[in-house]
């Protein structure tokens, strides 16, 4: 494997869960271009591998990720450089992944690290996790969805306060605000996130992916359009053997056996 490849470790578990570990602990997993390319490539492998149903993204050491790589970004001279290479464009690979992704956040999730967590589908936080969008302190603003996703997650007043002050947010406050779904004891965050991913992976994979697509549509559509979209995908589940099996198993008082697990 190349050095770039090792920046993100991919572990395939028998339960159908892929564990992706951001692995640049000396730089608090700062999200360099190389690391994000490696993450994009591994997420592509997860989507393409029919034995994998869900993924967990976590970090090594004392951070999930302390942001995009400040030193690397600083090496770009000016607007024409960053515009020309479309800096950070390949971050879309995370939200474009069709299988569900659980973020297991321990330690710092700052700037691009917080944005990466928010691009995942569920965030589980260790009690020592620290979130935040500190870009304002560097003289810039969030650049991979922070201004858009944070307001949807926590509402305007908190999103504005956090983005305009750059202050760090504790795991407990992040949970109160609805940014994370659960706070768990330090040291257990990866296994708790894997448990959730395993539960998801135990269901019919196409159905799980339809449900994810529907929930995500809510962030981009009007209510009426979203409800129409949901109705179409709900009807589409009648085209799946697994829908028939789930209903049949209920009436026969037995556990369903999913064909497309
Ligand atoms: C590059 C980083 C880094 C980053 C930490 N490091 N964060 N390198 N980019 N985002 C490096 C440090 O330079 C240092 O390298 C090593 O990691 C350890 O960090 P320390 O600062 O010594 O650790 P500590 O004192 O514990 O402080 C932790 C910290 C601090 C509070 C998280 O590292 C920090 O403030 N980091 C930057 C957080 C930030 O501003 N993130 C937003 C980035 S901008 P050396 O070589 O000295 O050991 C961003 C833009 C988003 O994300 C827009 C689009 C993505």
Mean pLDDT over 146-151 rounds to 97
Q: Is the distance from the beta carbon of residue 141 to the nearest atom of ligand 1 less than 6 Å?
A: no
In terms of C-beta density within 10 A (0-12 exposed, 13-18 middle, 19 or more buried), how is residue 30 classed?
buried
Band (pLDDT 50/70/90 cuts) for residue 88 is: confident
User: Is residue 1 scored above 80 in pLDDT?
Assistant: no
User: Is residue 16 scored above 90 in pLDDT?
Assistant: yes
- The C-alpha angle with vertex 14 and arms to 44 and 47, in degrees rounded to 5, equals 15
Q: What is the pLDDT of residue 260?
A: 83
Catalytic residue among 40, 104, 119, 135: 135
Mean pLDDT over 124-128 rounds to 98
Instruction: Establish whether 239 is a catalytic residue.
Output: no
66, 71, 92, best to mutate for ligand 1 pocket (most atoms within 8 Å of CB): 66
- Of ligand 1's listed atoms, the one at least distance from the Cα of 27 is 17
For residues 84 and 98, the answer to whether their CB atoms sit within 8 Å is no
Distance CA 71, CA 74 (A): 5
Q: What is the pLDDT of residue 86?
A: 84
Q: Is the distance from the beta carbon of residue 134 to the nearest atom of ligand 1 less than 6 Å?
A: yes
Band (pLDDT 50/70/90 cuts) for residue 89 is: confident
Give the distance, in angstroms, between the CA of residue 225 and the centroid of all CA atoms in the same chain. 25
Instruction: Establish whether 186 is a catalytic residue.
Output: no
Instruction: Establish whether 135 is a catalytic residue.
Output: yes
Instruction: Establish whether 115 is a catalytic residue.
Output: yes
Q: What is the pLDDT of residues 226-246, one digit of tens each?
A: 999 999 999 999 999 999 999
Q: What is the pLDDT of residue 87?
A: 83
Question: Rounded mean pLDDT of the chain?
Answer: 96
Band (pLDDT 50/70/90 cuts) for residue 108 is: very high
């Amino acid at each position: 494997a190349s050095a770039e490849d090792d920046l993100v470790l991919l572990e395939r578990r028998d339960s159908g869960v892929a564990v992706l570990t951001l692995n640049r602990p000396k730089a608090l997993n700062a999200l360099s271009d190389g690391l994000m390319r490696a993450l994009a490539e591994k997420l592509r492998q997860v989507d393409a591998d029919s034995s994998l149903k869900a993924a967990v993204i976590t970090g090594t050491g004392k951070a999930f990720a302390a942001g995009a790589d400040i030193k690397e970004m600083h090496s770009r001279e000016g607007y024409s450089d960053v515009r020309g290479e479309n800096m950070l464009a390949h971050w879309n690979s995370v939200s474009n992944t069709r299988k569900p992704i659980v973020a297991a956040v321990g330690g710092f999730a700052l700037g691009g690290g917080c944005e990466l967590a928010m691009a995942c589908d569920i965030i589980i936080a260790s009690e020592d996790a620290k979130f935040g969008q500190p870009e304002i302190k560097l003289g810039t603003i969030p650049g991979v969805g922070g201004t858009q996703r944070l307001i949807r997650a926590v509402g305007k007043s908190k999103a504005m306060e956090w983005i305009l002050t750059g202050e760090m947010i504790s795991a407990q406050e992040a949970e109160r605000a609805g940014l994370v779904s659960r706070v768990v004891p330090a040291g257990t965050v990866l296994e708790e996130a894997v448990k959730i991913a395993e539960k998801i992976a135990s269901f019919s994979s196409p159905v799980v992916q339809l449900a994810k697509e529907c929930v995500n549509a809510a962030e981009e559509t009007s209510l009426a359009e979203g409800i129409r979209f949901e109705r179409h995908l709900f009807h589409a589940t009648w085209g799946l053997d697994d829908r028939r099996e789930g209903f049949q198993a209920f009436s026969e008082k037995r556990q369903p056996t999913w064909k497309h697990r």
